Amino acid sequence: RASLAAMSDRCSSVLFTGGEPSRLSWLTDVFKDARELGYEFIQMQSHAGAAADPETADAWVAAGLDAIDIPIYGADAQSHEAITRTPGSFERTLKGLDNLRQRGARSVMHTTLFQSNLDSLEAIVRLIDSVAPDGAYIQTTGEVGAPGTYDRVAPSPEQVGNALVEVFATVTPETPIQLSDVTPCLVPGLEEQVVPWRVEPREAGLPVVLPYSEWLMVFSGGRTKGHHAACDSCSLRGECDGLPLESLARFRGVGLVPR
């Protein structure tokens, strides 16, 4: 509440993320606090499984929640739960999303790409489009988990770029889907979908699309992404945020094609 109060004179919206905010016993209280302090739009990033219970969905929306951003790791329970390692999480997440939307909440969906679900990307994009959220984004796993996890599970930017180009050549979703953790040179024809972190203020009342690496860029002042030496001669250099630093360190710019 102290943080919300300190920012209330210069912010009109708030996004709660984590960890998993829905595990907090005081979650509805903080939604109410934000509304009482004058925040016009309240969004949360959460798997939303708790909202599969209609009473929880009622409580969140009544307390002030305006929008939810949910993760989808696969297009079916088997592929999604291979990553969440939580049986039943696929069904609960989609049910929670549906319950919240029925009560008037806006929605964002996102997927995080690993080596293990890269081949499922087309099916994931089709699922997102069938649900038709207000916004969506595709990001790549960052350096999280135990040491060595990133090297083992992360696809290279080149792999991700190739997969994105192939999928969007096959599928033309009506849902706007933005792309994170790739550079424009890796996704020819999709450059306008790449998320820039230095964006203009968003229209009031709309859900925020904020991938994890862009969130880090905001709070680090742009210091968590960088460019490879090969980028120096690229004509897109001035409009490209580069790649996450862990990606540059692990994959050393392989696949980047300066224009």
Dihedral through CA 18, CA 23, CA 29, CA 35, nearest 10? 40
Q: What is the pLDDT of residues 192-217, one digit of tens each?
A: 999 988 766 667 668 989 999 998 99
pTM (two decimals):
0.95
Mean pLDDT of 147-157: 93
Report yes or no: 62 and 118 within 8 Å, Cβ to Cβ: no
Question: In terms of pLDDT, which residue wins out, 259 or 54?
Answer: 54
Give the pLDDT of residue 2.
Answer: 95
Specify the pLDDT at position 197. 84
- For every residue of the chain, DSSP letters joined together read -HHHHHHTTT-SEEEE-SS-GGG-TTHHHHHHHHHHTT-SEEEEES--GGGGSHHHHHHHHHHT--EEEEE--SSSHHHHHHHH--TTHHHHHHHHHHHHHHTT-EEEEEEEE-GGGGGGHHHHHHHHHHH--SEEEEEE--S-SSTTHHHHHPPPHHHHHHHHHHHHHH---SS-EEE-S--GGGSTT-GGGBPPSS-PPPPTTS-----HHHHHHHHHTS-SEE--GGGGG-TTGGG---EEHHHHHHHTTTT----
Percentage of residues of the chain with pLDDT beyond 90: 83
| Confidence check: pLDDT of 136 > 80 | yes
